[in-house]
Amino acid sequence: MKRNHINVLSQATLAAVVSLGAGTPAAQAQQSGARGSSALLEEVIVTARKREEGSQDVPMSISAFNANQIEALKVRDLT
């Protein structure tokens, strides 16, 4: 049971990291194009339970990292 919980948590973390890293260039492009507007947040889609869910609907905490944080921590594998 505990092993399954850790596996689900690592999958959720990986999904959050990948989705945030992929959306960062688009968000930066939107920010530079719209001066004076507030920063836009992308929706995080989590697939840890084998279906797409918004991060607000997942019944566990999710930690998200941006590309700079992942690079600074020298993360290569989340398993």
Nearest CA to 66 out of 9, 11, 10, 28 is that of 28
pLDDT tens profile 22-62? 555 554 555 455 444 455 667 777 787 888 888 788 888 87
pLDDT tens profile 4-16? 556 666 777 777 7
Nearest CA to 50 out of 12, 2, 1 is that of 12
Measured distance CA(59)–CA(9) in Å, rounded? 11
Residue 54 is predicted with a pLDDT of 84
Q: Which residues pair with 45 in a beta bridge?
A: 54
Residue 37 is predicted with a pLDDT of 47
Measured distance CA(63)–CA(47) in Å, rounded? 14
| 46: helix, strand or coil | strand
